[in-house]
Chain A
Amino acid sequence: MDLSAKHMEFVLACYGISAVLLLVMTLTIVIRSKQHDRQLARLEQARGKAKK
């Protein structure tokens, strides 16, 4: 790839925006899933204690 080629800024902008958005989307889904896992574990633990 020739970085000094004409219109290269458009190519770099496309790859940059795609990388950032896909990364943000992936992190959001992973973090949200982990948060729900933790919250559910806490609630089930509290329910277990309440039953005892």
Chain B
Amino acid sequence: MARIEKFANPTRFLRLQEKVQPWLAAITALLFAVGLYYALAKAPADYQQGETVRIMFIHVPAAWGATMVYAFMALSSAIAVIFRHPLADLSAKAAAPIGAVFTFLALVTGALWGKPMWGTYWVWDARLTSFFVLFLLYLGYIAVWQAIDDYHRAAKIAAIVALVGAVNVPIIKFSVEWWNSLHQPSIMSSSGSSVHSSILIPLLIMVAAYSFLFLTLHLLAIRSELRKRKIHQLQLAQAQKV
């Protein structure tokens, strides 16, 4: 907790963010370049799916990003509610649009993969439906921040939405085991992976690329939110003088 408290100071956070931002951006670009090269040029076509297997290299990282960002948002909200950390609300708020884009991408690429493989873009099965619910949760969370002017009230209600919605994360993860689903089960488990290294390595690189993209954009978005809050305070002070 002491380490989290250390970055409760926005000035200290901004100083650190300025230092690490270029490095994070460079690592993200490198991971995307290497990952896409392996995904498009090196990985072999699947003996059953053919070239469509390459959709996996952007579908799985987007889906991983979508659930990871929501879990992170729920954790930030919990820290905001329990410890009243001044950056935790902002952290969750800044993460939401990125998570929403990842979820949208996972849904769209999943639908486009489903058509040639299953013969349909969409079925209301457990995995797809729980993922669609995740997208609605993101939209709801963003809508709360947009609809309520009072910062503290918006933060409180948004945190409740994030925490209640967190129940959907394990449902997404285990939906393919709990219910019959068209969606394939997880390729990674505690006992290892069922996928050959020629597919697994590019996949893991792309997952890392999406994770670093989130980290890079998230820090920038928190910076932007901090600036916005300061601008609001200065404008209020000016208005009170007049």
Contact = CB atoms under 8 A, between A and B. Distances in A.
A22 B234 contact: no
- Using C-beta atoms within 8 Å of the partner chain, give the interface range for chain B: 35 or more
A17 B51 contact: no
B58 A32 contact: no
Contact of A25 (B50, B101, B109, B234): B101
A1 B46 CA distance: 11
B227 interface: yes
Contacts of B115: 10
B235 A2 contact: no
Given A6-B50, A10-B115, A43-B238, 11 more contacts: A2-B45, A7-B116, A10-B55, A11-B51, A14-B55, A15-B40, A17-B108, A25-B101, A26-B213, A36-B224, A40-B234
Interface of B: 40-41, 45, 50-52, 54-55, 58-59, 62, 97-98, 101, 104-105, 108-109, 112-113, 115-116, 213, 217, 220-221, 223-224, 227-228, 230-231, 234-235, 238
